[in-house]
A and B are shown apart, each in its own frame.
Chain A
């Protein structure tokens, strides 16, 4: 039964996005032109990538509030690296960004795993620490477009079959995570740990280690996004992506990822991110103050949570009924 509920939830969210697009098109038809939709997608790509990492973390009953700070620190480091050694090849920079992000994620993961500190406290702490480190290494200065090398900033915008690299990275990340969650032992363990940590222990799954790996994955994606972000906007400073971690969590919650862990899908995270992306891009177009965006995303979160809570309740009733029938 629950298997039937999950696709329904995602279907409803997809329908909501579709309706939203339809509504916007009545006011501004150009919004739903393929090229604009591609722009919206590209604009939402960083949120989507981060939401995938956050989804994995939330599924294991944790939360990662340090993703935006991780992104900003990695972005600053690769930007400074680019200034210092302009000839560094892009693949190497991408590798460095992913590794650096993963190391920061591992730091969160170790604290959660070995010291058993609640994840919200750990990542609240590291979030502040990462921002502080950016200030220390940059002296609070900006790194601007003219200081970065041409190839460094061009990479995320380069077009392949009509879509920029940034979009393709998101597509690949979604595919990889989709495969990982459904078809690998790690993916299965992540669901098991979130679904029932006690039972997972008896099964021979190391709960702390799975949570650690979730943080590493989330950190690696944050690092990757850090480079893409800094290169796309061609600027790096202390406060980039400030508060973005909450938008990432919001995308997950709207996408039906249960904050209690164990329930959620890659499709949900992607749709949650897309929903926020459409709202964010559409509001200026249809002449609604961007301040409304916050209210709309907020309402979307509450509606999504209320909807999930209701779905949970129906599930409870079904259990009782079937128990009666079998007896």
Chain B
């Protein structure tokens, strides 16, 4: 491939801060015509923020974006797409009930002289686009009749219909089968030959080395390095990604866990996970690491009875327990603090104290009536332990900040006096101060004899907090790591499926 000098898009010293977090700190990123640039970094490295800035969803606080050397600012999503930048998201935003052609041209359909949508022209254009990317279906097909891979093709055709020069693919292969991935690679080759600049975001190293021409590495919102993919190997790339001084101090812990609280044997699910076996000891923090979609949350949901495993045994304190519903899980002392606070955690509209006491209602009521004084006492006890800052416990949860809402949700579960607490991404999306408080608190809980399962995609958190860590990939446990084996490199290797350096593996 000929060496191209001037990049199509060049981001220079881009900075973006959110309240309490510096998401991007003077990063740079160049995209070249006819080349695939892989953007590499762990969760929280600033990849999504970069995409959002490139597509005009966020505006940077500092730095310049240049297109063909000319500085530009994107005031809106439309401005970015007019400049020829288009993104294909992890979950493509398309309309089920519309036809493929309508999906491709929605918002910019060809018009007849009278201003009506020119259906025939639209279908011709759509057919042409679909053919150019090798899509094997008719533009009149309804979107809902297409599989996930073909939907991707529609999204790509839509991206091309606006005459894109830059195509951003954010984890495009996360939901695809092997065959579909191969087809996607062919498509990317086609796009390259058409001279599009492609930004490819992926956690999977085999993909990156297969498809990318260049790489750029971000870490914690800062630029680490870039270059041609031919000049680097997997080991160096992993090192660039994770190699860091852990600046965030995690609480000191010394675990003397012996007694077994929970034992899971042979948990299987028809589609989400298979063959899950592990033990959890009293007072232990067990980390669950894996890429998004590795099946961690899905397994946790079946452990607490939201979905049912097809087989498997769960023993609590040595006794077999069948957990059929979340209520069963709560009464067996297992509670789950979900990742998505807004959707699954706090009940907006109920005051703080009612949110806290909701799962403990049978304890705070007598003869079928709630006792408000007891409720307030319980809520006050746990919210003050978590250092919740609120004007009053009567206040609506919706008026609290994200970190404080998280505290309410955690207080709610602690108030049930559980034996095992499952924290799904406990610090995702909260500011550094609240993060430290949550970590501190987890250590405290473990010291009091509560067993913690921490599902986390943040490597420093897994390493800093866990006594042991289990790595999941594609619905299976691929490694159980502790002590010296528990390093950033081993976590990434197992999660991404790199096997150059054989590690202690347990299937």
A residues engaging B (CB < 8 A)?
Answer: 1-3, 179, 182-185, 188-189, 191-192, 195-196, 198-206, 262-263, 315, 318-319, 322-324, 326-327
Q: Is B349 within 8 A of A263, CB to CB? A: yes
Asked if A196 meets B348 with Cβ closer than 8 Å, knowing A326-B389, A326-B401, the reply is yes
Residue of A nearest to B371 (CB): A183
Q: Which residues of A contact B351 (CB under 8 A)?
A: 3
Q: Is B19 within 8 A of A198, CB to CB? A: no
Q: Is B326 within 8 A of A1, CB to CB? A: no
Q: Is A2 within 8 A of B396, CB to CB? A: yes
- Contact partner of A322 (CB less than 8 A), chosen from B346, B369, B401, is B401
Q: Is A184 within 8 A of B358, CB to CB? A: no
Q: Which residues of B contact A327 (CB under 8 A)?
A: 19-20, 401, 431
In terms of DSSP, what is the predominant structure of the interface of chain A?
Answer: helix
Q: Which residues of A contact B358 (CB under 8 A)?
A: 188, 192, 200, 203, 205
Q: Is B349 within 8 A of A200, CB to CB? A: no
A319 to B395, CA, bound (A): 12
Residue of A nearest to B19 (CB): A327
Verify if B317 is at the interface (C-beta below 8 Å from A).
Answer: no
Q: Is B326 within 8 A of A202, CB to CB? A: yes
A272 to B303, CA, bound (A): 45
- Contact partner of B349 (CB less than 8 A), chosen from A2, A189, A198, is A2
A327 to B402, CA, bound (A): 10
Asked if A204 meets B326 with Cβ closer than 8 Å, knowing A199-B343, A323-B401, the reply is yes
Selecting from B205-213, B359-367, B437-445, the interface stretch reads: B359-367
Q: How many whole Å from A49's CB to the nearest CB in chain B?
A: 22
Q: Which residues of A contact B396 (CB under 8 A)?
A: 1-3, 315
Q: Is B326 within 8 A of A184, CB to CB? A: no
Q: Is B329 within 8 A of A196, CB to CB? A: no
User: Which residues, 445 to 496 on B, are CB-close (under 8 Å) to A?
Assistant: none
Verify if B184 is at the interface (C-beta below 8 Å from A).
Answer: no
A76 to B394, CA, bound (A): 47
Q: How many whole Å from A106's CB to the nearest CB in chain B?
A: 21
B residues engaging A (CB < 8 A)?
Answer: 19-20, 304, 306, 325-327, 329-331, 336, 338, 340, 343-351, 354, 358-359, 361-362, 365, 368-370, 372, 389, 394-396, 398-404, 412, 431
A199 to B327, CA, bound (A): 13
Residue of A nearest to B340 (CB): A198
Residue of B nearest to A200 (CB): B347
Q: Is B401 within 8 A of A204, CB to CB? A: no
Q: Is A185 within 8 A of B306, CB to CB? A: no
Q: How many whole Å from B94's CB to the nearest CB in chain A?
A: 24
A113 to B99, CA, bound (A): 34
Q: How many whole Å from A55's CB to the nearest CB in chain B?
A: 15
Q: Is B369 within 8 A of A183, CB to CB? A: yes
- Contact partner of B399 (CB less than 8 A), chosen from A188, A205, A319, is A319
Asked if A204 meets B329 with Cβ closer than 8 Å, knowing A1-B399, A323-B402, A327-B401, the reply is yes
A196 to B348, CA, bound (A): 7
Q: Is B343 within 8 A of A2, CB to CB? A: no
A160 to B39, CA, bound (A): 80
Asked if A318 meets B399 with Cβ closer than 8 Å, knowing A195-B349, A199-B344, A326-B404, the reply is yes
Q: Is A1 within 8 A of B349, CB to CB? A: no
- Contact partner of A188 (CB less than 8 A), chosen from B326, B354, B395, is B354
Q: Is B359 within 8 A of A204, CB to CB? A: yes
Asked if A185 meets B362 with Cβ closer than 8 Å, knowing A201-B326, A319-B398, the reply is yes
